[in-house]
Structure 1
Amino acid sequence: MPLIERPRTGPSATALARSPLPPERLLPLVADHPLPRMFDRWGPFPAVERVDGQDGAWDAVGKSRTLRLGDGGAVTETLVEFEAGRCFAYELTGFSDVFDRLVRGVRGDWGFEPDGTGTIARWTWEFAPRFGRGLLVRLVVAPLWRINMQRMMTAAVRELSR
């Protein structure tokens, strides 16, 4: 069962970017983009330093990998949805850093909508706060993460669209 059922109810952050590439070309590039190149350290958020346990392309529900973070922590990422050319979603669970004190997990969704000959990409993180942490996540973590994810997404989509 997914960590977060739809419709969304937890604190969330969303970023958008436009690419001249069509969705069916952009989605696999984003899904397989090396996470250490995208997730650099910013503010209170550690970088992803390496990815362990990924076998092949990130393109099938049930695939799982471990993200090793710059603060010494780790988190498990599991692909929970994948529709070629349209979307993919993953869940982050088992944080072993400060995030573990704030959230039970995160659901990340990437959506790719045609826009003329290009694509509007949407990336959303929905947080599942721990008991008593919802307000902190909603008022501090989610807004800071939104700034960070917009910065990362803009750079990644620009790079991948070349």
Structure 2
Amino acid sequence: MAISLLIKPTDRTVPITVQQRTWVTPQHAFHVIVPIDLTRVFHKVGPFPGVTSVANQTGDWDHAGPTRNPQFGDGSQADEQLTEYTEGVSFAYQLSNFTNVLDRLAVGIRGEWNFNPDGEGTLIRWTYEFLPRPGRRWILAGPFAPLWRRYMVAALNECVRTAEDLASDRR
């Protein structure tokens, strides 16, 4: 199945990146975070709703291609597709067709997670790359960015905590 990528090399996007270090291995962090229950890590932060459920998932998130619909606490949803999967190293996905205010700001988003060796642990780097609607780039790059960054930091903290808790349970 060919995947139609939302963002092309010539698009002018608004990237927002967060990162965090952890003592767990890249492979462990990867295998916990890729299939993580979105309701455990995406909580309401500021004006952004949390994920309350996931509908219509078409398969396991262990290869490029599966789709799903995250459902948000404000009653909205989005279409999500896993677009890249490199075992133990990185994965990427795209979100589109938002039914909330994000639809007025962006055509869609490309999310990418990278799990890089960092001594005996891992540096996790997560980027959301927004494809702005015409005339909306300034909003995404300006007042929106610090609010969204807080949302991402909170979710990344939850992901890392979950990976560390699961690793501690195995000790």
TM-score, normalised relative to structure 2: 0.89
> Could you say which residue in structure 2 is the equivalent of 1:100?
103
Tell me the percent identity.
39
1:143 equivalent in alignment to 2:146: yes
For residues 57 and 32 of structure 2, the distance between their equivalents in structure 1, rounded to whole angstroms, comes to 16
Q: What is the match of residue 136 of structure 2?
A: 133
> What pairs with 1:5-154 in structure 2 (closer than 5 Å)?
5-6=8-9, 9-154=12-157
SS at match of 2:135: coil
C-alpha RMSD of the superposition: 1.5
Aligned residues: 162
CA distance in 2, matches of 1:67, 1:157: 21
- Quote the offset at 1:90 in angstroms: 0.2
Aligned with 2:98: secondary structure? coil
Partner SS state of residue 78, structure 2:
strand
Structure 2: gaps (5+ residues): 166-171
Q: Partner amino acid for 2:78?
A: V
- Distance in 2 (CA, whole Å) between partners of 1:155 and 1:92 is 21
SS at match of 1:74: coil
Q: Stretches of 4+ moved more than 6 A in 1?
A: none
Q: Does the Cα contact within 8 Å between 2:60 and 2:66 map onto a contact in 1? A: no
